[in-house]
Structure 1
Amino acid sequence: MTKQVKYYDLYDDVYIPGRWHLRMPLDDEEGLEELFDVGRFKEGRLLDIQKPIRISMNPAGIPLEFSHALGVPIVHRRVVSLFERLGLQEEVQFIPVEVEGQTEPWFILNALQVIRCIDDARCEEVLHWLPEDNRPDKEAGEYRNVSGLKIDPEKLGEAHVFRPWGWKVILIVSEHVKLALEEEGITGTKFIEV
């Protein structure tokens, strides 16, 4: 009998005292509103970004190696190195960004997989977008809200980093990735089993 792989919602620990809070893009970045359409970083596809994205802090504080800016994961180069050692280059894209006041390299973590895996029956509550909601930007069946998220591991194959179809506001990682992030001491991470 094989052990069932566990998966976790990986998110930004907003309760770390004195931590930084990232905003983006910087207000003086003319024309970057379209470039930094946060939705494109949640579509599960490679992006070709030519202009550097500059990120501000408000308030400034202690840098975290994993944090969010408008819901988009921003990571330190140590996370990039860890994912490379784990062999996850096919599952993620790291897009360089400049963080205000920082000389070290930082990156957007762009998950390259969106997988239909939410187990509606095991979630506490799910609400779907319906045609009568008149939301042409939403595909029929996408989730309007999910409480107590649970996924079906049988639908994931060998995936280690992905977003769930219909609820792409979260980033899910395998237990293998979770344990590696913890062992490496990556700051700013918080996990909820899904």
Structure 2
Amino acid sequence: MLVGKSLNKSVPFVLSLLYFQKRKGTDLFKRAELKETLSPFSFYSFTVTRTLKGIKIEAVIVGSEVINGSRGTEMKYYLMRQDVTVCDKWKLGGVHHVNNWHFSDPPVNFMEAGTYTLDVKVDGKEVDYSLAGYASVPVLSEKARNSLAGLQEVDEPYRNVVFAPVEINNKKVCHNYFLMIIETQIDCVDEKNSRFKKFEINDPVRPDMAGNYRAFYNLVIDRDKVGSSHIFRLKKYLGAVIVSEEVKRRFMAAGVVGALFDSVNGDQETAT
């Protein structure tokens, strides 16, 4: 599926389409060109409706990409990591009074109203994206969270991606923070082009994980299996948070500190 990238200015384009009209019982196929201008956008689905020579023409554009007036390429995806190279950054402990593994694989009705709490394990500089505790729960600043507004899975309450307020107990913080609970899991590893190791049936430590991925020496995903998702966990390897190029772009535009993005498109080696 082709998708739209953000543009800094309006871009004119010409939509060429084939239509037909009935005239005296005959279907006449004709070609028409509709000149349109796209305002700055990211991903889009819209309908162009025009009347041409008394005929109403309607064209639905879904998932087309326009970059500087020309078609682009397929959406790219990235493994989103915590940037451990940020100097003097804080290190967060686990979320209190809850099984933290549930944030990676939320059971039915896991979400409860209220605010979670956690402690700073190692004091340091606040960053916009951190991983908390033994289960590596994503913690986002309000700036990082707000940069994702408008994405379908973020805007639909309690579906796909949920942001739950979290209080930092033992540190006076300058910003508000949220746990990012990702409910979407997609089985989309391109096993032909990836290099990995799986848990075996007779694994001496985790036989219950048989068939799941143990490690990736090079992770490549099959983008055809992703659909329109922008944020999801990798099924059978839930520690991997995969995001679209649009998420990466939004984080970079907002100046989010603490996140790194490794390509999983087969254009580089990404181990995890």
TM-score (normalizing by structure 2): 0.62
Runs of 4 or more, structure 1, over 6 Å off, are: none
Q: Equivalents in 2 of 1:60, 1:111: separation in Å?
A: 27
The alpha-carbon deviation at position 136 of structure 1 amounts to: 5.2
Q: Which runs of 5+ in 2 are unaligned?
A: 3-72, 265-272
Question: Residue by residue, what CA displacement relative to the aligned partner does 1:50-86 show, whole Å, maximum 9, x if unpaired?
Answer: 5643211132111001111131100111222222233
Residue of structure 1 in register with 2:132 after alignment: 69
- Correspondence 1:178 to 2:178: no
Q: Equivalents in 2 of 1:162, 1:44: separation in Å?
A: 13
Residue of structure 2 in register with 1:150 after alignment: 220
Q: Equivalents in 1 of 2:111, 2:181: separation in Å?
A: 12
The alpha-carbon deviation at position 39 of structure 1 amounts to: 1.8
Measured on the aligned residues, the alpha-carbon RMSD in Å equals: 2.1
Q: 1:103 to 1:185 in 2, by over 3 A?
A: closer
Alignment of 1:1-194 (within 5 A): 2=2, 3-25=73-95, 32=97, 35=98, 37-43=99-105, 47-50=110-113, 52-70=115-133, 71-89=136-154, 90=156, 91-100=160-169, 101=171, 102=173, 104-123=175-194, 125-133=195-203, 135=206, 137-138=208-209, 140-194=210-264
Percent of aligned positions that are identical: 28
Give the count of matched residue pairs. 184
C-alpha contact (below 8 Å) 2:132/2:138 kept by paired residues: yes
What SS is found at the alignment partner of 2:122?
coil
Higher relative contact order (CA closer than 8 Å, sequence separation 6+): 1
Rg larger for: 2
Residue of structure 1 in register with 2:16 after alignment: none
Higher helix share: 1
The alpha-carbon deviation at position 141 of structure 1 amounts to: 1.8
Higher strand share: 2
TM-score (normalizing by structure 1): 0.86
Q: Which runs of 5+ in 1 are unaligned?
A: none
Q: Equivalents in 2 of 1:41, 1:59: separation in Å?
A: 22
